[in-house]
Structure 1
Amino acid sequence: MKAREGSAMATNSLVQRIARQALATFCKPLHVFPDKHQQLLGLMSQARATDLHLQPPAVDSPPPSGAPPVTYMHICETEHFSMGVFLLKSGACIPLHDHPGMHGALKVLYGKLRVSCFDRLDSHSACTHLRPSSRPQVGAVRRSVLRSSAEYTDVSEACLLAPDRDNLHQINAVEGPAAFLDVLAPPYDPDDGRDCHYFQVLQGPKLHEREVWLMEIAQPLSFWCGTEPYPGPEVRL
């Protein structure tokens, strides 16, 4: 009886319900069932660290030498979406990056994050290239706009991104370690044109107080992501 009860609790866990709602939301274009998107956000906004059996680090101590600043816990993945948890050490940063053609949602589980979101103003005519002599790294330069920069905690609602809104963002751990639940739809797939690209802000606002120039760069050497096992309830799809 106890085994059956445990299995029933796992299949009815908040994490399981979020995964099922994500599948229902992203198995068809969002314009078909826009209400399902809101249902997913509502469920994610309820999530806390205890729902995933996570414990914030008891002591905020520097990570061992050579340890990754960020680690990832894989929960589940289908052709329609992926779900997992990112854990950031104190002071860690996930550099400015994009999600080509992807929707996503982020929910802080513990700690505090600062999330800065950008959009390209014109992905075609504004794209140019730096001369090789002007920078040691040559990359595409795009006129962009800072849409928002805000701090989130475990009591904040889920933070959203869409293919054409808040698609580029940088995530910083503030005042200690932090963790967040991450849903991306569809998952990254370089073979299908959905690869992660990194960017650097070249200059501050000029023509408009929130306009910037972003240059595509290689993955920063200071950032890499390790993995660790997910300790939470099993997800079945």
Structure 2
Amino acid sequence: MMPADSAMTSIVQRIARQALVTFKSPPGLGEDAGKSFMENHNKLKSLMTEVRAADLKLVPRRAKDSSPRAPPYHHGVPPVTYMHICETDQFSMGVFLLKTGASIPLHDHPGMHGMLKVLYGKVRISCFDGLERPSGSTQATPPLPPAQMGALRRSVLRSSAEFTEESGPCVLSPDRDNLHQIDAVDGPTAFMDILAPPYDPDDGRDCHYYKVLPEADVTNTEQKEKQVWLVEISQPPSFRCEGEPYPGPEVCL
């Protein structure tokens, strides 16, 4: 195991160690606990800002080798692949690689923090948050079959922005920007991804997928952020993600 303060320690190792420190316990109640978490979170964000594809020994893929294809995929490679770097009870870290035109559908991160840093290419990230319907609200709901009404969520589109390797990380928390969709823009792309804690269906942290109902816009003109209806759906059949080997520096925790 490399010395913690060694100049030879890879930035990937330093990011993993800082993630462990940051998420070893969730931000607790009280000003001091919240301050400590934010200090560590800012250190992690700073490290993530520095990381580049070369640090993970990633070679940017060419657009002509990265065209999405309908199933069955050419040589069995899906539009999205994942390189696992490490995982603990506190966080998971890896790299997602998207082919040209590929998307990770709108999905949530129940009770989780997250940080995403583009390594090459460009992505568009659209972030939503669920909203509670006001008690006794008479607001009309979209016309859906009764069986689907329980899957309906009133939500707000917080942001839609493009990120490149020169951008800072995209950050999500349990109560802010928690649902997002990620689209590759103008070619293949890759990004490092940290989730804390990791997905765990047995602990109530399963991944759910959604679609926006464009015919059911509920925008309040008095608010700057666009409100919409989302409906929970099964994993889209067009979305498939499989693993591939991680070529970068080993992480020891």
**TM-score calculated relative to the size of structure 2:** 0.83
Aligned residue pairs, count:
228
Aligned partner letter, 1:160: V
Provide the residue aligned with 1:36 in structure 2. Answer: 40
Listed as ranges, the gaps of 5+ residues in structure 1 are none
- Specify which of 55, 59, 84 is matched with residue 59 of structure 2: 55
CA contact (8 A) 1:60 1:177 kept: no
How far apart are the structure 2 equivalents of 1:107 and 1:39? 14
Provide the residue aligned with 2:105 in structure 1. Answer: 95
How far apart are the structure 2 equivalents of 1:188 and 1:223? 18
Provide the residue aligned with 1:14 in structure 2. Answer: 11
Provide the residue aligned with 1:181 in structure 2. Answer: 192
* Structure 2 residue 120 is the aligned partner of structure 1 residue 107: no
Q: Which has the higher strand share?
A: 1
Provide the residue aligned with 2:164 in structure 1. Answer: 153
- Specify which of 176, 182, 192 is matched with residue 203 of structure 2: 192
* Structure 2 residue 92 is the aligned partner of structure 1 residue 79: no
How far apart are the structure 1 equivalents of 2:150 and 2:191? 31
* Structure 2 residue 230 is the aligned partner of structure 1 residue 214: yes
The CA deviation at 1:28 is 1.5
Structure 1 residues 192 and 178, CA gap change in structure 2 (3 angstroms): same
Structure 1 residues 234 and 183, CA gap change in structure 2 (3 angstroms): same
Aligned partner letter, 2:214: Q
How far apart are the structure 1 equivalents of 2:238 and 2:183? 13
Aligned partner letter, 1:23: L
CA contact (8 A) 1:83 1:183 kept: yes
How far apart are the structure 1 equivalents of 2:112 and 2:165? 24
Query: What are the superposed Cα offsets for residues 162-194 of structure 1, whole Å, 9 maximum, x if unpaired?
Result: 000000000000000000000000000000000
The CA deviation at 1:131 is 4.6
* Structure 2 residue 244 is the aligned partner of structure 1 residue 228: yes
Aligned partner letter, 2:23: F
How far apart are the structure 1 equivalents of 2:82 and 2:48? 18
Alpha-carbon RMSD = 2.4
How far apart are the structure 2 equivalents of 1:130 and 1:45? 44
Structure 1 residues 220 and 138, CA gap change in structure 2 (3 angstroms): farther
Listed as ranges, the gaps of 5+ residues in structure 2 are none
